[in-house]
Amino acid sequence: MWAIGLVVVALAVIYYTHLLFKWRSPKIEGVLPPGSMGWPLIGETLQFIIPGKSLDLHPFVKKRMQKYGPIFKTSLVGRPIIVSTDYEMNKYILQHEGTLVELWYLDSFAKFFALEGETRVNAIGTVHKYLRSITLNHFGVESLKESLLPKIEDMLHTNLAKWASQGPVDVKQVISVMVFNFTANKIFGYDAEHSKEKLSENYTKILNSFISLPLNIPGTSFHKCMQDREKMLKLLKDTLMERLNDPSKRRGDFLDQAIDDMKTEKFLTVDFIPQLMFGILFASFESMSTTLTLTFKFLTENPRVVEELRAEHEAIVKKRENPNSRLTWEEYRSMTFTQMVVNETLRISNIPPGLFRKALKDFQVKGYTVPAGWTVMLVTPATQLNPDTFKDPVTFNPWRWQELDQVTISKNFMPFGGGTRQCAGAEYSKLVLSTFLHILVTDYSFTKIRGGAVSRTPIISFGDGIHINSRGRERSGKKMWAIGLVVVALAVIYYTHLLFKWRNPKIEGVLPPGSMGWPLIGETLQFIIPGKSLDLHPFVKKRMQKYGPIFKTSLVGRPIIVSTDYEMNKYILQHEGTLVELWYLDSFAKVFALEGETRVNAIGTVHKYLRSITLNHFGVESLKESVLPKIEDMLHTNLAKWASQGPVDVKQVISVMVFNFTANKIFGYDAENSKEKLSENYTKILNSFISLPLNIPGTSFHKCMQDRQKMLKLLKDTLMERLNDPSKRRGDFLDQAIDDMKTEKFLTVDFIPQQMFGILFASFESMSTTLTLTFKFLSENPRVVEELRAEHEAILKKREDPNSGLTWEEYRSMTFTQMVVNETLRISNIPPGLFRKALKDFQVKGYTVPAGWTLMLVTPAIQLNPDTFKDPDLDQVTISKNFMPFGGGTRQCAGAEYSKLVVSTFLHVLVTNYSFTKVKGGDVSRTPIISFGDGIHIKFTARN
């Protein structure tokens, strides 16, 4: 039964599903928008990164707009978010920046900078104000007029000429290199032609990993990206230090201004300035290269647009005294149709998925409450792709801008953000695009060779690229979003800093080797991949081979030390209550105020009671006095029924039998006369236990939660019925719990149903799996059946009345049967291990176990050790050290004898009264609990 053993899993599931409910239904004063919080920890992140196959609004937003309306709630990477596609709400929030909301991406940086005399909101404002100021100094209108325009034109002439000489080029790739090298030169003097470091390649890798799984282990894309990022930050810091140490190296650029400003801006440190430059580079690199690439796509698909552009720009050239002179600021401002093309490109591209703000306090808007601390995602692309404003919104049509008035444009077109945070690099971006179009259409003709497919993930990607062939024409004579996309860049910087801390937790001492896996999820995905045999689960086996018998990992975001070492496991179990505590009862100790008791004592009190009540009803004395004949009757009845039905799936029928019997003994459940088939509920709950915990309608897990609530309600109704009517009492497990409510304060009308639920869950799965495996082993080992039959028929022959019931003495005499039971228990190892939680830091086997970490003592590793269980002749010392099917330490399962009695009695009734044949099935796997694939189908035949 493992009544205490597997209750570890059961009560943990109960507590976890309670947290799930709280996650999906956060309590606030007011009304949250409709929507789903998705999968805990991850939220709806997986749906968010599923690619959309066009430039239209990302399917994640579009589907939820259709389902919930323009405002909805969700969760991304564990962060609660309210998404707004509503213009009025977006305008309201942008107007109240600094009072109701703050910039989200700078929230984390405000914690690092001690800005004297400033509130956190002011601190964020200070940092943002500086970013905007330094960007405008180097990329604003005055700088563009005075010095940047001719440099931009030269850069574009050089690169377009190079591309024309190379044959077909992937424009996204070559434009990315061009944009990066130019921006890096203006920021810190990077000289791409003479530098040993090809930094644009680093940034390409970093961008690719930005939409990959953040699995920071050697061999992964993300791990390589982290190395490239560190390399880049080191180069930026080295450049900074070089200029600080040698003023002759200064050149009056962006970096030099940051160095000068270190005297007045306290947050400008030698560690922050490289991150600042990294963010600006990241923003310009991706946004402008994507916009220019989309420009090529739209032009190749719309030759009429190219004709009108060419006419406008050739007219500009004709007006010049010298046709070969440079582009002027006045000529740029005169490009009417070009501006329409730029606007249409920016309107459709929508490179950032939205603007992010964080609520400073609870506030109401549009009838909903925005809770303090929640992120608000303002999806400005929804207004730019609104078919009511922009007919056929994904169609590239520059002429539509002739018909739009300024009021409509101001309300529905925000490619560079909104509110007080409009991008400081907006004019720079438009100038680069316009200058690019000017040189392209006047000096070159171009043809798309292949590619052009785009998708959103949610940023734009180009699949197999866009390959363009360009050639010079005879002639006389991404957007940067400098503050806009730095949202993403600086958030990535901060997040990767957290990733590094996750994978390298600081402790005093030495942690075991191992990997912490993927943040939040850890190595949970690997843990639930099925093993195709009854051997030790591959998750543990592979790590034992790689790291040794003791290793660290993380499951569902919880740091864990796994031990397959007997000496360490014994040491841990011997120090329960001083170094460690039961893990699953940790949460319950917080719920129950046990007067005068420490938390450890509180946990001990609850466990002591669970063990005591279990022994009262399923311990040796109870088995001898009353339970044994009832077990035998139950087995006779069910085996006879199965023999009359033809082949049966034994896992299914045994599960029903075990559940109904245990439920009857716990709270008087009468399966034959009850309307509720509770065993079916438990089967569904068990199946969902190894499914994704995605608690939304239509999923297996959602249905399971409904079944669980239904079950808990039935148990609570039964409890209340007995409390209100003493005549309904029957002296069972439930009645004892009712009596004990007078003395045990933690026994409440809410806890008792959960206690019964856990005991039922434990017995249901563990015993049904053990009995099913017994059938598998017997059907595959006829010699074992012969020896069992000989032992049990000898028992019958010794009776005065061969039809009398099994006695306790007969049960204790079953020598070979006990060997069969032990072998079944040794191989089955139903629980994956014993769980404990460290109360404080301590050392064992040369490693430190940090306080708060979970320990998983993998007893199955000992029971499946080939060095121990190769020879069948085992002495008692070896058995005691290497065979712990019912746990160990002070927590050995109180239902151990009950479990062995049921299996032994089952074998007695089976081999003396029936012959049996396996018809089909028998495959098993671990996930990490045991499952049976297509079942094990057995045909029973009564023997004379």
pLDDT (mean) for 171-183: 88
- Tell me the three state secondary structure of residue 355: strand
The answer to whether the CB of 81 falls within 8 A of the CB of 75 is yes
**Range from 203-207, 258-262, 799-803 that averages highest in pLDDT:** 258-262
pLDDT band for position 303 (50/70/90)? very high
Distance (Å, rounded) from C-alpha 644 to C-alpha 307?
A: 85
| Residue 530 reports pLDDT greater than 50 | yes
Distance (Å, rounded) from C-alpha 546 to C-alpha 767?
A: 34
220-232 pLDDT, tens digit per residue, is 656 676 777 788 8
The answer to whether the CB of 347 falls within 8 A of the CB of 390 is yes
Is the CA virtual torsion 768, 773, 776, 778 positive or negative? Answer: negative
More confident residue, 873 or 297: 297
pLDDT band for position 798 (50/70/90)? very high
| Residue 276 reports pLDDT greater than 50 | yes
pLDDT band for position 623 (50/70/90)? confident
Locate 569 and state its tokens. 């496991």
- CA 301 from centroid of its chain's CA atoms: 40
851-871 pLDDT, tens digit per residue, is 888 898 887 777 777 777 765
Locate 670 and state its tokens. 């009468």
Q: What is the pLDDT of residue 109?
A: 40
Distance (Å, rounded) from C-alpha 61 to C-alpha 72?
A: 9
Instruction: State the average pLDDT for the chain.
Output: 80
Distance (Å, rounded) from C-alpha 600 to C-alpha 611?
A: 16
Q: What is the pLDDT of residue 846?
A: 92
pLDDT (mean) for 732-736: 90
Is 225 annotated for ligand binding? no
pLDDT (mean) for 638-647: 92
More confident residue, 818 or 98: 818
